[in-house]
Amino acid sequence: MSTQDGQECCPHGSNADAQSVPKIPHILSPAQVQLLDYTDALDGPHLVKSLKLLHDIAVYHSTEPIDEEEKDALYLIKGLWECIERVIG
């Protein structure tokens, strides 16, 4: 199979491509790796349900006022569960 510019395309990649891709632990911070370790035990749907519950408790069931920093964090939680939903499709 060839691309539009005539280069050969291998559907499984090449050995050179695999060697140039950085390993995931090298591009993630230690905190991100730790988060992935914690969430590895949960499957996608349960993780999404947990994040939604956490969001809803903070927004709808708390009597404490929410400041801008907390609103931003809740928005990021929503973005995280939406990304996970797309991945588990």
Specify which residues 8 forms β-bridges with.
Answer: 2
Provide the domain limits for residue 83: 24-88
pLDDT in tens, 49-82: 989 999 999 999 989 899 999 999 999 999 988 9
Q: What is the pLDDT of residues 6-18, one digit of tens each?
A: 555 444 455 554 5
Predicted TM-score (pTM) of the model is 0.54
Q: Into how many domains does the chain fold?
A: 1
One-letter amino acid for residue 88 of the chain = I
84 is a domain residue: yes
Q: Tell me the C-alpha distance between 86 and 79, whole Å.
A: 11
Residue 71, domain member (yes or no): yes
pLDDT value of position 77: 92
In a domain, 17, yes or no: no
Residue 85 has pLDDT above 90, yes or no: no
pLDDT of res. 72: 94
Per-residue DSSP letters for the chain?
Answer: -B-TTS-B--TT--HHHHHHSPPHHHHS-HHHHHHHHHHTTS-HHHHHHHHHHHHHHHHHS--S---HHHHHHHHHHHHHHHHHHHHH-
